[in-house]
């Protein structure tokens, strides 16, 4: 009656099963697509797969360097090879059932290309001119002039005594001796 429990060590999965299956199917389909000798699929790559939770069907997204005008040809070629692609999944993946594959163009990549083309048309943006000859923010100017106190510089708001109590060793005196006068002990804040 004693059943062994699985070790919760390195085999613990922190992401859903469908995400793992999506990635596995993408890899299998990408490798199988490279083996297919079809000129319509030469410039096609699998960009993503989304399986439903029951693993009965999967949407396969592809990208083609041929462009959107060749989508009908690519979709036709993928539909003709669907059975072969599903067989490759059945052989390589340990799944109870092989999901039925459906294909579609990855519009995200195309939209990215479109945005990139628009940005190229616009050209580089003119650089902003600094206001009245200053090229640094006002806060940096105050720091250079010595107007900021130590709390503002480190952002912590703790004085050195508090840092010392928290184990930072700021005022413990160790390593603070400086014979030549150019090290940390020679620096002062006003």
- CA–CA gap between residue 24 and residue 91 (Å, rounded): 12
- Global pTM reads 0.56
CA 71 to mean position of chain CA atoms = 28
- CA–CA gap between residue 36 and residue 32 (Å, rounded): 7
Q: What is the pLDDT of residue 134?
A: 52
Task: Report pLDDT digits (tens) over 133-177.
Answer: 555 555 555 445 454 444 444 444 444 444 444 444 444 444 444
Task: Report pLDDT digits (tens) over 54-88.
Answer: 999 999 999 988 888 899 999 999 999 999 999 99
Give the DSSP H/E element, type plus range, for residue 82: helix 82-92
Q: What are the DSSP calls for 119-176, one per residue?
A: HHHH-PPPPPPPGGG--S-HHHHHHHTT-S-HHHHHSS---HHHHHHTT--SSS-TT-
Q: What is the pLDDT of residue 67?
A: 82
- CA–CA gap between residue 29 and residue 48 (Å, rounded): 10
Which structural domains are found in the chain, ordered by start? 17-122 (3.30.300.20), 136-172 (no CATH)
- Categorize the per-residue pLDDT at 39 as very low, low, confident or very high, splitting at 50, 70 and 90: very high
Note whether 80 and 63 are within 8 A (CB): no
């Amino acid at each position: 009656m004693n059943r062994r429990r699985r070790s919760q060590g390195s085999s613990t999965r922190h992401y859903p099963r469908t995400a793992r299956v999506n990635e596995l199917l993408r890899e299998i389909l990408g490798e199988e697509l490279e083996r297919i000798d079809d000129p319509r699929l030469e410039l096609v790559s699998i960009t993503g797969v989304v399986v439903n939770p029951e693993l009965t069907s999967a949407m396969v997204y592809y990208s083609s360097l041929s462009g959107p005008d060749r989508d009908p040809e690519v979709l036709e070629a993928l539909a003709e090879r669907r059975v072969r692609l599903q067989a490759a999944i059945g052989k390589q993946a340990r799944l109870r059932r092989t999901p039925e594959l459906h294909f579609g163009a990855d519009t995200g990549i195309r939209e990215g290309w479109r945005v990139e083309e628009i940005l190229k048309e616009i050209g580089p943006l003119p650089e902003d001119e600094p206001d009245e000859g200053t090229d640094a923010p006002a806060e940096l100017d105050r720091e250079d002039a010595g107007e900021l106190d130590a709390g503002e510089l480190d952002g912590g708001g703790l004085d050195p005594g508090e840092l010392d109590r928290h184990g930072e060793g700021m005022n413990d005196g160790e390593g603070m001796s400086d014979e030549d006068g150019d090290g940390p002990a020679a620096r002062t804040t006003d």
